[in-house]
């Protein structure tokens, strides 16, 4: 007998037939003698609708109320799956985040899980019950509902697997594993049998939505055996594991892209110590993550331009924070641009090979794609480009690094 966590994403629970399909998959695991906790997302499209309604009322809404609204999609699917399981003779009950409880910090909209009490769910296992846990949600001090950032049900699943000391955490989705790049935009993308935690972490954080970044980080820290597999067809999926479990290693293992960033340029910023701190400090205090930063050298010794990116969802808030401090931050002009995307190449092999960046720049230059910003780390290179070239760039790079399959 094993204890396992199964997570089903939005497309896997998008309607009643699909929920029936999920119930059958869960039943099979229970039938094999396993103790099962299931984590569910909201039905596909529901969270977007809830976000949109909140934004229609106010772009600068109270993030605590945003969480109350957007967490509701998972309440529906957790109850429905419990009903669906009971209907086929499987004992089950639903659990909302606060009922477990899944405690998080109070950074609403992108809260981090701080602890999960496993006891109540374990007591349910003893009664022979499947636990159907609403993903994406937690509870913070003051008993306020929180959500874990878009795609956060993956993190709910991994955190629960760690708390329950489960022997596996299986993420069921609409693709049959992790690919060299998004198989929806590159037909020649190849499925990987295994990928290292580190590479998966970079792929996820650079935009591959197949797993939420935080879920990979947590799996790596708690050594959770994480698999990505299809909820529609049987197959081994992709195992996320340690580097030494992987025999065949390539220099570049994947390409990711993100349309979720927006670019802000401040022109005529005073070129003196303390200016960057004055800009980025207030953004950090407002929980706005800044990603790429480019500062030009000052031509006249007095002023310069600073360009940086923030999440598209944070753009209005970021502009508000900066313009609200206009008197303290001397700058001439603020330009916001949503028409950008970030394309990245990732691979642990980059540590020991030269020329990886050069190949990227040439492949983009050959297609006349202009690079607006660059950032690198030990195992990735990212560039910011105009959004309309995203797919062209990803395909060109996939070919340039020899990743194309048949």
- Binding region for Mg ion (CB under 5 A): 9, 151
Binding range to ligand ADP, per CB under 6 A, among 205-213, 308-316, 344-352, 398-406: 205-213
We find the least distance from the C-beta atom of residue 73 to ligand ASP, in angstroms, to be 6
Site residues for ligand ASP, window 148-187 (CB under 6 A)?
Answer: 150-154
Report the candidate in 8, 4, 3, 2 with the shortest Cα–Cα distance to residue 228: 8
Q: What string marks each residue from 57 to 96 as x (binds ligand ASP by CB under 6 A) or -?
A: ----------------x-----------------------
The whole-angstrom separation of Cα 236 and Cα 227 is 8
Give the residue among 74, 23, 26, 73 at the shortest CA–CA distance from 170. Answer: 26
Interface segment toward ligand ADP; rule CB under 6 A; list 15-23, 114-122, 202-210, 244-252:
202-210
Q: Does 218 bind ligand ASP (CB under 6 A)?
A: no
11 binds, among Mg ion, ligand ADP, ligand ASP, none (CB under 5 to 8 A by kind): ligand ADP
Q: How far apart are CA 339 and CA 309, in angstroms?
A: 12
Could you say which residues in the range 262-281 bind ligand ASP, by CB under 6 A?
none
* Residue 51: Cβ-neighbour burial (10 angstroms; 0-12, 13-18, 19+): middle
Residue the block writes with tokens 């209907």? 87
What is each CA distance from 108 to 60, 74, 138, 288, in whole angstroms? 13, 17, 10, 12
State in angstroms the smallest separation of the CB of 379 from ligand ADP.
15
Distance CA 228, CA 9 (A): 11
Is 42 an interacting residue with respect to ligand ASP (CB under 6 A)?
Answer: yes
What is the Cα–Cα distance from 181 to 287, expressed in whole angstroms?
30
# chain residues binding ligand ADP, by CB under 6 A: 20
**178 touches ligand ADP (CB under 6 A):** yes
Smaller CB distance to ligand ASP: residue 154 or 202? Answer: 154
Q: What is the 3-state secondary structure (H, E, C) of 31-47?
A: HCCCEEEEEECCCCCHH
136 touching ligand ASP, by CB under 6 A = yes
Burial class of 113 by CB neighbour count within 10 A (0 to 12, 13 to 18, 19+): buried
Assess whether the previous peptide bond of 357 is cis (omega < 30° from 0): no
Choose between 175 and 264: whose C-beta lies nearer to ligand ADP. 175
CA dist 392 and 369 (Å) reads: 9
Between 102 and 178, whose beta carbon lies closer to ligand ADP?
178
- Which among ligand ASP, ligand ADP, Mg ion, none contacts residue 175 (Cβ within 5 to 8 A by kind)? ligand ADP
Q: If binding is defined by CB under 6 A, does position 63 make contact with ligand ADP?
A: no
Instruction: List the one residue from 5, 9, 29, 398 that touches ligand ADP (CB under 6 A).
Output: 9
According to CB under 6 A, which one of 63, 84, 97, 135 is a site residue for ligand ASP? 135
Nearer to ligand ASP, 152 or 177 (CB): 152
d(CA 182, CA 190): 9
Angle at which helices 213-222 and 153-163 pack, to 10 degrees?
A: 10
* Site for ligand ADP, rule CB under 6 A: 9-12, 41, 151, 173-175, 178-179, 181-184, 203, 208-210, 254
């Amino acid at each position: 007998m094993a204890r396992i966590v199964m997570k089903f994403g939005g497309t896997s629970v998008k309607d009643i037939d699909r929920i029936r399909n999920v119930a059958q998959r869960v039943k099979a695991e229970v039938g094999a003698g396993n103790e099962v906790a299931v984590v569910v997302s909201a039905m596909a499209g529901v969270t977007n609708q809830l976000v949109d309604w909140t934004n229609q009322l106010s772009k600068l809404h109270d993030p605590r109320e945003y969480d109350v609204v957007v967490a509701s999609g998972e309440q529906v699917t957790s109850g429905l799956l419990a009903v669906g399981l009971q209907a086929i003779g499987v004992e089950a009950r639903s659990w909302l985040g606060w009922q477990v409880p899944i405690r998080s910090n109070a950074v609403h909209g992108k809260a981090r899980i701080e602890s999960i009490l496993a006891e109540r769910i374990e007591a349910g296992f003893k009664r022979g019950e499947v636990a159907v846990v609403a993903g994406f949600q937690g509870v913070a001090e003051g008993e306020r509902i929180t959500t874990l950032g878009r795609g956060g049900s993956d993190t709910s699943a991994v955190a629960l697997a760690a708390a329950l000391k489960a022997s596996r955490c299986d993420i069921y989705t609409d693709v049959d594993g992790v690919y060299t790049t998004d198989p929806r935009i590159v037909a020649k993308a190849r499925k990987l049998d295994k990928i290292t935690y580190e590479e998966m972490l970079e792929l996820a954080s650079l935009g591959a939505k197949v797993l939420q970044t935080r879920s990979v980080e947590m799996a790596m820290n708690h050594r959770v055996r994480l698999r990505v597999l299809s909820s529609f067809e049987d197959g081994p999926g992709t195992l996320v594991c340690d580097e030494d479990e992987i025999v065949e290693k390539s220099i570049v293992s994947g390409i990711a892209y993100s349309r979720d960033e927006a670019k802000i340029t401040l022109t005529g910023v005073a070129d003196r110590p303390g200016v960057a701190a004055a800009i980025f400090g207030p953004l950090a205090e407002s929980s706005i993550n800044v990603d790429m930063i480019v500062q030009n050298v000052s031509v006249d010794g007095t002023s310069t331009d600073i360009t940086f990116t923030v999440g598209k969802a944070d753009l209005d808030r970021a502009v508000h924070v900066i313009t609200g401090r206009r008197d303290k931050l001397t700058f001439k002009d603020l330009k916001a641009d949503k028409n950008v995307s970030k394309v990245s190449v990732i691979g642990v092999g980059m540590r020991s090979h030269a020329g990886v960046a050069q190949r990227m720049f040439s492949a983009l230059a050959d297609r006349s794609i202009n690079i607006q910003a660059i950032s690198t780390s030990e195992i990735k290179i990212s560039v910011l480009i105009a959004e309309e070239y995203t797919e062209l760039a990803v395909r060109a790079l996939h070919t340039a690094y020899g990743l194309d399959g048949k």
